[in-house]
């Protein structure tokens, strides 16, 4: 710890050189803060422009549902895939079957349909890391949800949706 003689400090701080140095230091600080603020503003503008470009290029996502079977067949495939995943997780042996709750079956069935029977994952990968990707992701979720509703209306109450930037829980 350094100790300074108070009389020497007061003498230096009273000198014109000290006043000139502090004025220049304050000016440098203000100039640097202003430059940093301008850089942040330009970066935000560039990100916004890139996001607008990505949004316009991405457009409306074209969703495909690749399942032509019945609702019961879809549930059977979803249960089989869910149980296969449980086999890989020894700490989670909660298996699904036809006697599982309707809410649970609806959830795993919509997850199976979204990830295994649509081009959802490919569309989401196109959004990752892109400026504006969050907004496009919401478009993708809504488009996939609409396609799932059209293909399997009986699952619509289990499908997640976005509205005004907020994820809505399924209505059960």
pLDDT digits (tens, 9 = 90+) for 2-15: 888 889 999 999 99
Residue 107: phi and psi, rounded to 5, are -65, -50
Longest dimension (CA), the chain: 91
Could you tell me the CA-to-CA distances from 109 to 56, 91, 98, 171 in Å, in that order? 32, 22, 12, 15
Residue 20 buriedness (CB in 10 A; 0-12 / 13-18 / 19+): exposed
pLDDT digits (tens, 9 = 90+) for 17-44: 999 999 999 999 999 999 999 999 998 8
Q: Which residues contact 142 (CB under 8 A, 6 or more apart)?
A: 161, 162
Residue 163: phi and psi, rounded to 5, are -150, 120
What's the pTM? 0.62
Tokens 């059209």 sit on residue: 150
Q: Indicate the pairing of strand 161-163 with strand 166-168.
A: antiparallel
Collapsed DSSP state (helix, strand, coil) of residue 15: coil
pLDDT digits (tens, 9 = 90+) for 98-139: 888 888 888 899 889 989 999 889 888 888 888 877 778 888
In the predicted structure, residue 162 carries a pLDDT above the cut 60: no
Of 42, 19, 27, 52, nearest in space to 131 by CA: 52
Q: How many CB atoms lie within 10 A of CB 85?
A: 11
Collapsed DSSP state (helix, strand, coil) of residue 16: helix
């Amino acid at each position: 710890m350094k100790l300074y003689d108070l009389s020497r400090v007061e003498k230096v701080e009273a000198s014109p050189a000290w006043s000139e140095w502090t004025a220049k230091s304050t000016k440098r600080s203000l100039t640097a803060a202003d430059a940093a603020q301008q850089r942040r503003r330009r970066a935000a503008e560039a990100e916004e422009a890139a996001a607008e470009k990505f949004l316009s290029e991405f457009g409306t996502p074209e969703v495909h549902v690749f399942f032509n079977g019945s609702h019961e067949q879809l549930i059977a495939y979803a249960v089989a895939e869910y149980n296969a995943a449980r086999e890989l997780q020894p700490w989670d042996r909660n298996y699904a079957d036809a006697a599982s709750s309707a809410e649970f079956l609806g959830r795993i069935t919509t997850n199976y349909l979204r990830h295994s029977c649509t081009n959802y994952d490919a569309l989401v990968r196109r959004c990752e890391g892109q400026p504006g990707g969050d907004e496009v992701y919401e478009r993708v979720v809504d488009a996939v949800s609409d396609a799932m509703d059209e293909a399997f209306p009986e699952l619509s109450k289990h499908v997640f949706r976005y509205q005004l930037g907020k994820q809505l829980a399924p209505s059960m």
